[in-house]
Amino acid sequence: MSMDKNIAPGTPPRVLAWRRFRRNRPAVAALLLLVMLATSALLAPVISPSAQMLQDLELGATPPSAAHWLGTDDLGRDLLSRLLHGGRISLAVGLCATFVSLCIGVAYGALSGYAGGHTDNVMMRIVDILYALPFTVFVIILMVVFGRNLLLLFVAIGAVEWLTMARIVRGQVLALREQTFIRAARVLGYSHARILARHIVPNVIGPVIVYTTLTVPRVILLESFLSFLGLGIQPPMSSWGLLIRDGARMMESYPWMLIFPGVTLSATLFALNLVGDALRDALDPRALR
C-alpha cells in the first residue's frame, strides 16, 4: 500500500504515526514547549525563585529585573513564581476536566453506538438538544450556586465538554459493531460489557486521543475565562486566568503583570492546538506514509 521503501511491512501503525508526527517541525517544537511548561509547573515548589505568596510590600511592583525575571506584582510577589504556581492549577484543571469529559463522552458514545436502533436515536437526540444550549452560562450558574470550589470546577467543565467526544466515539462504534471480529466475539458468547471494554473501546482510541488533545485547550480557556470574571479559581490560589484578571486591573501602571500571564496562556493554547492538529494528521488512517 505504501510507496515508501523504508517502511518494513508489518510496522505497527503507532510507529508510523509517530514518524509522521515527527516530520511536522512546528508541532514537535510545540510539544517540547508543552513538556517544558508542564515540568516547570510540576516542579514549581522546588524551582520557583521565591514562595508564591511571599509578599514584599516595601518593594511593591517592580519591572523585570535580575532578581525578579518577570518583575513583581503590586504586593511585591515574584511574578515568575506566581506564574509557575498558577500554571499548576491551570494545567491541572485542563487535564482533570478533560479526563472527566473523556470518561463521560467515551462511555456515552460507545453505549449509544453499540446499542444502536431506538436507544441510539434517543441518546443522540439528547446530545443534539444539549448542543443547542449556551453552556458557559450553565457553568457560571453551577459555580455561583454550589460555591466556587476546585473539584466542582473540574466536574462542571467536564460535564459540558463531552458532547463532541460522544458524537465522535458513537460514529466510530457504529461502524465497528458490524465488523466480523465483533460478531465473532458475540458468537463466542462474550458479555456486552466485555465486548465494549475489550474489543470496541480500544479500537476507537485514535480519534479519542486527537479530540482529547483538542479538548485540553478549550478547557483551559474556559477555566481562565471563569477565573477572569472572578467566578472560577479563588484567591489565595492562583491560575493564569486570575493573574490576567489582576494584570488587567493593574496594567496602566504595571503592564508586565498583564503581558506575561497573557503571553503564557496564549502560547500554551497555541502549542496545544498545533499538537492536536498534527496528531490528527499523523493518526489519519488515510495518510499513506
Partner 1 sequence: MAAIVAAMLKFLLRRLLSMIPVLWATVTLSFLLVRLAPGGPFTNEKQYPPQAIEQINRHYGLDAPLYLQYVRYLGSLLRGDLGPSLKYTGRSVNDMIAETFPVSLELGCWALLVALVIGMAAGITAAMRPNTALDTVPMTLSMAGICIPAFVLGPLLVLVFALYAGQFNATGWYEPSDRVLPAITLGATYAAYIARLTRAGMLEVLPQDYIRTARAKGLTEWRVVGIHALKPGIFPVISFLGPAVAGLISGSFVTETIFDIPGMGKLFVAGAFNRDYTLVLGLVVFYSALVVLFNTLVDVLLAVLNPRLRLHA
270 binding partner 1? (CB under 8 A): yes
Per CB under 8 A, contacts with partner 1 among 138-197 are 138, 140-142, 144-146
Cell readout for 142 is 453551577
Tell me the C-alpha distance between 277 and 289, whole Å.
17
Closer of 16 and 142 to partner 1 (Cβ): 142
Please say whether the beta carbons of 21 and 252 come within 8 A: no
Closer of 82 and 177 to partner 1 (Cβ): 82
Q: Which of 217, 223, 232, 282 binds partner 1 (CB under 8 A)?
A: 217
Q: How far apart are the first and last CA of the chain?
A: 9
Residue range at the interface with partner 1 (CB under 8 A); choices 10-18, 39-47, 162-170, 224-232 = 224-232
134 binding partner 1? (CB under 8 A): yes
258 binding partner 1? (CB under 8 A): yes
Question: Where does residue 215 rank: exposed (0-12), middle (13-18), buried (19+ CB within 10 A)?
Answer: buried
Which is nearest to 27 in space by CA: 240, 282, 286?
282
Per CB under 8 A, contacts with partner 1 among 228-247 are 228-231, 241, 244-245, 247
Contacts of 1 (CB under 8 A, 6+ apart): 288
Residue 240 C-beta: closest distance to partner 1, Å: 10
Which residues on neighbouring strands pair with residue 78, listed in sequence order? Answer: 72
3-state secondary structure at position 271 = helix
Chain residues binding partner 1 by CB under 8 A are 129-130, 132-138, 140-142, 144-146, 217, 221, 224-225, 228-231, 241, 244-245, 247-248, 251-252, 255, 258-259, 262, 265-267, 269-270, 273-274
